[in-house]
Structure 1
Amino acid sequence: MSKYAEYDSNLLSLIKGGCNTFDALVMRLADANKQFDQSADRWRVTDRRLQALRRAGKIVFNRSRKSWYLNQVQEVPQ
C-alpha cells in the first residue's frame, strides 16, 4: 500500500464532493500536506498526487472549467 493511499482517498472524495479546483483542494488538504513536505511549497504535494491520479486514469481535468473530475469511463478488463 502506498504511503499516499489515504491522501489519494481524501483527494478523490473531495473531488467527488464538488471541491474540484486546484486552489480549493490545496486549502482543504493544507494540514495533510505538512506531513509529506516540509518546504514552503506545500501545494506541490497536491499537484504531484493530482498528476499521479490523472496518469492512473482515475481523474480528468476540464480545461474550460479549470476543474478536476472523477473519470467516468470504465476500462474494459482484458
Structure 2
Amino acid sequence: MTDYHAPHPLVPLAQDLDPNKVTPGLLGFVVFAVIAVGLWALMKNMNKQMKKIDFEEQPAPESKVPAPRD
C-alpha cells in the first residue's frame, strides 16, 4: 500500500525524480553565493579592525630564581 496524502500538489511530481540525478539548482547556488559574499565581507572587516590595533609586547619580567652554577 503506497498511498501518499500530499499536502501540496507538487509533492507527487517530486516522487518521479531520480534521487541520484537531483542537483542543488539555482537556489543552492544563490545560498552558497550569499554565504561566500558574507564571509568575504566579514574577513575584510576583520582585517580592517586588526590593522587598527597598536600593540607593543612588554618584556618578560626578570626571574628571581638564581641561575644554576656550573
Select the structure with the greater relative contact order (CA < 8 A; seq sep ≥ 6). 1
Using structure 2 for the length normalisation, give the TM-score. 0.27
Looking at secondary structure, tell me which structure has more strand per residue. 1
Larger radius of gyration: 2
Using structure 1 for the length normalisation, give the TM-score. 0.25
